[in-house]
Structure 1
C-alpha cells in the first residue's frame, strides 16, 4: 500500500522524536515531569534517576531514528512506557483527583496518553513481523 510506505516510517520517526525530545528535557533538568518520575521511583536518587532515564530515552529515540534493532528497541519502548504507569501505584495523588481514577490530574493525563504510544509501538512491531520471513 502506498500509505503504508509513508505512514509506517512516519510513525517510527514521530515516536523517536518524542523520545529524544522528552529525554533531552530530563537530561538538561528542564523536564516538567521530573517530580513525577521521582515520585514513581522514590527509592532511587532523583539526581541520578531523571538524567539516566533521559539518556535512556534519547538512546531509544536515536536507535529508532536509525532503524536499527527495531524489534528489540520497540520492545524496550513498550516496556518503558508500561513502566510509567507505576506512578498510579506509587504516587496516586499525583495522577488522580480525590481517589477517583476517572478524574485524572494533568500528570495522570500525561501518563494515560502513553497508551497511544504503546499501541503505536505495537503496530510497528506487528508490521515488522509481517515483513520478516518465518
Structure 2
C-alpha cells in the first residue's frame, strides 16, 4: 500500500465516523444524546438541547463529507479541531460521566480519549495536503 492509499483510507475512515455518528444525532438514534444534552445544559443553557443535537449532527455530517475532498482538508482540519475540543468538554464539565476514578476513564471517557487517534489522523491529512500544495507551487 502506498502513501496515497493511506491518505485515502484516512479520509474514508473520517468520513464514515463523522457522517455516521452525525446522522444518528440527526435522526434521533444516537447513544450520545444524553451526554450531549447534559453537556448542552452545562455549557449552553440558553440553547434548546434537542435543536443543538440536530445541528451538531448536521455539522458532523458536513465535516465527514469535507474529508472526502482533499481541497477541503484545511477547512475540515479546523472544523475537526473545533469538534474535538467540544468532545473533550465532558471531561471537565461532566466529570462523573467521563471518569470512574482518578486516571480511570468510564466508557464515555474512553470514547473521548480515543479521539487522540482522530487527532493524529487529521494532522497526517493536513500536513500531507499542505505539503502537496507547496510542491505544486514550486
Superposed counterparts of 1:61-72, under 5 Å: 61-72=64-75
CA distance in 2, matches of 1:83, 1:115: 13
Q: Confirm or deny that 1:83 pairs with 2:86.
A: yes
Deviation at 1:125, TM superposition (A): 0.5
* 1:123 equivalent in structure 2: 124
CA distance in 2, matches of 1:76, 1:115: 15
Superposed counterparts of 1:1-134, under 5 Å: 3-42=2-41, 43=45, 44-98=47-101, 100=102, 102-133=103-134
Structure 1: any 5+ residue segments left out of the alignment?
Answer: none
After TM superposition, the score normalised by the length of structure 1 is: 0.90
After TM superposition, the score normalised by the length of structure 2 is: 0.88
Q: Which moved more, 1:70-79 or 1:26-35?
A: 70-79
Deviations 1:61-111 (A, max 9, x none): 11222444221112111221122111111111001014x1x1111111111
Deviations 1:3-49 (A, max 9, x none): 10210111011101110000011011110111111222212321111
Q: Which moved more, 1:61-70 or 1:113-122?
A: 61-70
Work out whether residues 15 and 67 of structure 2, in 8 Å CA contact, stay in contact via their aligned partners in 1.
Answer: yes
Aligned length: 131
Deviation at 1:55, TM superposition (A): 0.5
Work out whether residues 100 and 106 of structure 2, in 8 Å CA contact, stay in contact via their aligned partners in 1.
Answer: yes
Work out whether residues 41 and 90 of structure 1, in 8 Å CA contact, stay in contact via their aligned partners in 2.
Answer: no
